[in-house]
């Protein structure tokens, strides 16, 4: 099972599922990170501690822990 954190820079993926707890899930959804959303990985901080992704027209910074909760598939 692939997760957002496993993706390489520049890769485009589709969200399958959010494994986050209630609060975080709400926040991710309000940022447009929800089932079927398309995400592109833009930048990665050293050792993938933090990543920058693009959802729609918005750029979002996520920490590795959070990116590990998002199940994705390559498109």
Residue numbers at the binding site for another protein (CB under 8 A):
18, 20, 23-32, 34-36, 42-47, 49-50, 52, 54, 56-63, 65-66
Element (DSSP H or E) covering residue 67: helix 64-67
Closest distance to another protein from the beta carbon of 2 (Å): 20
Closest distance to another protein from the beta carbon of 4 (Å): 12
Closest distance to another protein from the beta carbon of 72 (Å): 16
Element (DSSP H or E) covering residue 51: strand 50-55
């Amino acid at each position: 099972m692939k997760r957002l954190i496993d993706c390489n820079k520049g890769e485009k993926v589709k969200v399958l599922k959010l494994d986050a707890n209630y609060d975080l899930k709400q926040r991710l959804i309000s940022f447009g990170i929800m089932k079927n959303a398309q995400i592109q990985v833009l930048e990665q901080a050293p050792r993938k501690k933090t990543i920058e992704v693009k959802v729609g027209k918005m750029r979002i910074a996520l920490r590795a822990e959070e990116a590990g909760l998002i199940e994705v598939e390559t498109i």
